[in-house]
């Protein structure tokens, strides 16, 4: 049917133009079709990357939550250690006072022994 229309055309000039346009449209159609398939392929690759990134993001969120919990526990432990250090410092001060008092008592005994 197409060829009948082409043969029915009266001039060679119109035939050449029609055949050229038909060829260009046919080639252009193939290019678009192959371009669409490559776009689909690229789209699939991007979807896979998005899926991988989302999975990695979820993994990192879990790890972050774990680290936050660990950090909170470390702060609690640090507060406990600070209380223990403060208690030990108080105990050392009390022992130092007792030691000083004992030294003074011993000095008094030594002075008493020297006087006698």
pTM recorded for the entire structure: 0.49
Q: Tell me, what's the pLDDT at 22?
A: 74
- Where residue 23 falls among pLDDT bands split at 50, 70, 90? confident
pLDDT at 1 over 60: no
Domain boundaries, the chain: 2-115
Model confidence at 65: pLDDT above 70: yes
Question: Is the model's pLDDT at 2 over the cut of 90?
Answer: no
Pairwise CA distance, residues 11 & 25, whole Å: 21
Question: DSSP states of 81-102 as a string?
Answer: HHHHHHHHHHHHHHHHHHHHHH
Structure confidence at residue 95 (pLDDT): 97
């Amino acid at each position: 049917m197409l060829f009948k229309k082409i043969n029915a055309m009266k001039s060679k000039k119109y035939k050449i133009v029609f055949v050229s346009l038909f060829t260009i449209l046919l080639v252009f159609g193939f290019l678009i079709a192959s371009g669409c398939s490559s776009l689909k392929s690229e789209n699939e690759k991007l979807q896979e990357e998005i899926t991988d990134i989302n999975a990695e993001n979820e993994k990192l969120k879990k790890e972050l939550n774990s680290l936050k919990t660990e950090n909170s526990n470390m702060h609690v432990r640090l507060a406990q250690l600070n209380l223990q250090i403060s208690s030990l410092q108080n105990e050392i001060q009390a022992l130092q006072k007792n030691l000083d008092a004992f030294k003074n008592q011993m000095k008094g005994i030594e002075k008493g022994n020297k006087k006698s």
